[in-house]
């Protein structure tokens, strides 16, 4: 997968956030996840990850590398956390595609005949 430095930094922050959620047992900071997934979408994650596994798989692998001790025995917790992030990204992608200036709405409409 070929990403930009911005995307890599966002993925690193998401990984840190997920590791913190596992360490603290307090759950995921939803507002921070929303901010980061919005940035990921705005920085072209979809375009850069076309041939890559889903975001949840990439985060799961990063979590297992970054926070080994808590991640080693917490597969179900990791799955739940990364699915939450994936859901937030999917929601963000749908919103940006349907908003004015988004990819879906920026296409010209065909002419209408009035006769």
Q: What is the 3-state secondary structure (H, E, C) of 44-70?
A: CHHHHCCCCCCHHHHHHHHHHHHCHHH
Q: Tens digit of pLDDT per residue, the chain (115 long)?
A: 678 999 999 999 999 999 888 876 667 899 999 999 999 999 999 888 888 899 999 999 999 898 877 666 678 888 999 999 999 999 998 887 776 655 444 445 555 666 5
Amino acid 57: pLDDT: 95
Amino acid 100: pLDDT: 64
* Cα 2 to Cα 5: distance, rounded to the nearest angstrom: 10
Q: Say if residues 85 and 34 touch (Cβ distance below 8 Å).
A: no
Amino acid 51: pLDDT: 87
- Both ends of the chain: CA-CA distance in Å? 51
Amino acid 77: pLDDT: 85
């Amino acid at each position: 997968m070929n990403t930009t430095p911005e995307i890599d930094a966002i993925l690193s922050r998401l990984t840190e956030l997920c590791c913190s959620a596992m360490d603290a047992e307090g759950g995921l900071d939803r507002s921070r996840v929303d901010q980061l997934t919005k940035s990921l979408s705005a920085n072209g994650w979809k375009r850069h990850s076309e041939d890559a596994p889903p975001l949840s798989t990439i985060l799961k692998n990063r979590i297992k590398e970054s926070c080994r001790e808590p991640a080693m025995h917490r597969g179900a917790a990791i799955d739940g956390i990364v699915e939450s992030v994936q859901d937030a990204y999917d929601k963000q992608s749908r919103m940006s595609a349907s908003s004015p200036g988004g990819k879906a709405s920026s296409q010209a409409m065909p002419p209408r005949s009035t006769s």
